[in-house]
Amino acid sequence: MKRRQAEILLASVILARSTSFLFSKTALEGMGLFELLALRFLLAFFLLALLYGRRLWREVGKSMILRGAVLGTVLYLVMAAEMMALRQSDIYVTAFLENTAFLFVPFFLWAGKGKRISWKTGQAMILMTAGVSLLTVKGAGIHPGALWAMAAAFFYGLFIYLTGLLARRGDGLSLGIWQMGFMGLWNGCSALALGEWAMPSSPSTVTSLLALAFLCTAFGFTFQTVAQQYLSTEEAGFYSGLDPLFASVWGMVFRGENPGLSGGIGAFLVLAGMARARGREDGKIPGPGMGRNHESFGE
């Protein structure tokens, strides 16, 4: 896969995943939190295992299972925190706060690899932080659920960082499938422990569950590991800024949410930060073939 193809794939993944906030908000009205997550990820796992069974078992091994377990566990924490936030906040609030993950990625790179935060990356972080602040603060306080959304952001940043480390070797698609299986397993155990199992019955809940399983999960999460094999870790982190923009649109169109003027300005600042982070100092875009080893994104 060429670098440009990986960029298109990652952008498509983010677009598909952005609808998950809308479908999750609807499904939570008729299902328990962990029950929803368990069914979502187990359905996606079994579909992908059916489609790619031969490839999946060809790549299976202790290393693959261990890496899938690590990524699946971190995503389990991401999704649990996201669902708690959605219970208490609007879609656009949860989406933008969760995607402050881009702020944590450079710090994980600094802590894990000793990689300094470049001036250009710092500028992008400042712009995007200002944008997120405008989108999440109303009046004198922060929206309910903000702390859960920030917890999701921290774990999502950790997931992006670990995916950059663990998806470099082996088959990225198989790794993505195994992480889905572990996510479903951990959520299923949590649902059983809390006595949440009660199969959904309303058409809107079932429709939302199927959309979450097949569009947002089978495609949305699994193929991120494929795309990140050809892009830098920081670049993947900044691409996540597309997620809340799309999610906000779905919230406004289908649930009547209104971020207001501050929300519009905040979205513009997020886009400006992404644009600042994406280009090189000379205004050129890195060409194809540089993704796998181009770790000095934004410098």
Residue 210: C-alpha distances to residues 85, 141, 173, 220 (Å): 21, 36, 21, 13
283 in a domain, yes or no?
A: no
Number of domains within the chain: 1
Q: State which of 54-58, 75-79, 97-101, 103-107 shows the largest mean pLDDT.
A: 75-79
Across the chain, the runs of DSSP E, i.e. the strands, are 137-138, 141-142
259 in a domain, yes or no?
A: yes
Among residues of the chain, what percentage have pLDDT more than 70? 85
| Residue 292: per-residue pLDDT | 31
- State pTM to two decimals: 0.76
Mean pLDDT over 87-113 rounds to 79
Digit-coded pLDDT (tens) for 23-32 = 998 898 888 8
| Residue 136: per-residue pLDDT | 65
| Residue 281: per-residue pLDDT | 37
65 in a domain, yes or no?
A: yes
| Residue 36: per-residue pLDDT | 92
Q: What token pair was written down for 60?
A: 């299976």
Reference 222, options 231, 211, 213, 209; nearest CA is 213
71 in a domain, yes or no?
A: yes
Digit-coded pLDDT (tens) for 130-182 = 877 776 665 545 666 878 988 998 998 899 888 888 877 777 788 888 998 99
Rounded to whole angstroms, how far apart are CA atoms 251 and 214?
Answer: 20
The pLDDT mean for the chain works out to 79
110 in a domain, yes or no?
A: yes
107 in a domain, yes or no?
A: yes
Predicted confidence (pLDDT) at residue 289 exceeds the cutoff of 70: no
284 in a domain, yes or no?
A: no
**Angle ∠(265,267,272) on CA atoms, nearest 5:** 95
DSSP state letter for 214 = I
| Residue 120: per-residue pLDDT | 77
Structural domain harbouring 259: 3-278
Digit-coded pLDDT (tens) for 201-214 = 788 889 999 999 88
| Residue 282: per-residue pLDDT | 34
53 in a domain, yes or no?
A: yes
